[in-house]
Amino acid sequence: MREYELYLVLDSDAEEPQVTSLLERVTQLIVAGDGETSGELVKTESRGKRRLAYPIQKKTESQDVILTFRTLPQALPETERVLKLDEMVLRYLIVRLDED
């Protein structure tokens, strides 16, 4: 399994239950892995509301969340698909952390 970091830029108008629901759905996808082996969530860090450097979809503020997790690379396409379809997600970035 590899370690990844997911940076989510969410709509600042989203309410807490919506954000919690999205994070639970993403966590379930990560933990499910490829069906045979499961991943694990290492850390969740909420960065709170932040002002964007430039407007994204006419929004000037966002809620930022960072998830650190371990999973197989096969679990990432489904996670990305869910993030692309959710209107609350303004931007996301998944980065593989170095093994060093």
- Topology annotation, domain 2-96: Alpha-Beta Plaits (3.30.70)
| 15-36 confidence digits (pLDDT tens) | 999 999 999 999 988 888 666 6
* Distance (Å, whole) CA 38 – CA 58: 38
Gyration radius (Cα) of the chain, Å: 14
What SS3 state is found at 25?
helix
| 37-55 confidence digits (pLDDT tens) | 688 999 999 999 999 999 9
What is the mean predicted confidence (pLDDT) over 61-74?
Answer: 93
What is the reported pTM? 0.89
pLDDT of residue 74: 85
Both structure tokens of 68:
């650190």
pLDDT of residue 73: 86
The bridge status of strand 40-56 relative to strand 89-96 is unpaired
What is the mean predicted confidence (pLDDT) over 54-76?
Answer: 93
